[in-house]
Amino acid sequence: MEQHLRTANLIRLRTAAAALRANRFAAEVCEDGPAASAALLALAGKGRKIGLGGSMTVASLGLPEALAAAGNTIVTHKSGMTPEEKRLVWLEAQGSDLYLASPQAVTMDGKLVFLDANGNRGAAVIYGPRRIVLIAGVNKLARDQEEGLWRARNVAAIANNIRLSKDNPCVKAGRCVDCAGAGRICNQVTLLWKKPSASDILVLLVNETLGY
C-alpha cells in the first residue's frame, strides 16, 4: 500500500478506535496482519476452547491453524455437516473461552455491523463467549450505519455469494436486489451500537485489506 495512503488509513483507524472506546468496546489498531495475528495469539495463549464465526478475515491471517498448533481446541462448523451437527457446534462455540469473528463494517462513529444467513455469529457476538475478539481490516471502515449496511449488502455479501457458489440475483446484478430465494445469505442484521453490558469485546483494527 502506498505510504501516504497507509498513513491516511492509520489516522482513520485511530479515529474509529477512539469512537469504539467511547461506545465501551476495547479497541486497538494494528499496523498490519502479522501484528494483529501476534496480538491475538498472545491473548489466546493455549489450552483454550476457541469458537470461530466462519470469518474470511480470520482465515486469511492463518489464525485457525496457528491457534490449533498452540494447543487450543477450535470449535467451528465444517462443510458437509448436517443441520443438527451445525446447531450443536454453534451452541458449543457460544460457550467458548474466546470467540473470533469479523464484522462486515465498522463505522467511524464506533458501531459494528454484522449480516448473516443463520444468525450463529450474531448470537455469539452479543452474548455467551467469555471473550470476543473482532478483527477488521481498513477496508471494513464505513462512514456511518447506513453506509455500513450498504457495504455489508453490496460488497461483502456479493463476494460471499461468489465464494459459496450461490446463484443469487446479486451475483448477476452486482448489487443487492433484496431477493427472497431460499439460498439467500442475508437474513439477519446484528448492530452493536454499544458494547453489550455482559460481554467482553475487543476490536482489532488492522491497517491492511482483509476479508470481505
Each residue's pLDDT tens digit, 36-88: 999 999 999 999 999 998 899 999 999 999 999 999 999 999 889 999 999 99
- Please give the pLDDT value at position 42: 96
In contact, 153 and 159? CB cutoff 8 Å:
no
* 157 pLDDT higher than 90: yes
Mean pLDDT of the chain: 96
List the chain domain ranges. Answer: 3-206
* 135 pLDDT higher than 90: yes
Q: Which three cell numbers stand for residue 39?
A: 496480538
Q: Per DSSP, which regions of 91-143 are E strands? A: 98-101, 105-107, 112-116, 131-137, 141-142
- Please give the pLDDT value at position 186: 95
- Please give the pLDDT value at position 181: 87
Q: Work out the average pLDDT over 130-147.
A: 98
* 144 pLDDT higher than 70: yes
* 23 pLDDT higher than 80: yes
Residue 1's pLDDT band (cuts 50, 70, 90): low
Supply the CATH classification number for the domain 3-206: 3.40.50.10420
- Please give the pLDDT value at position 54: 86
Q: What percent of the chain has pLDDT over 90?
A: 96
3-class state of residue 7 by DSSP: helix
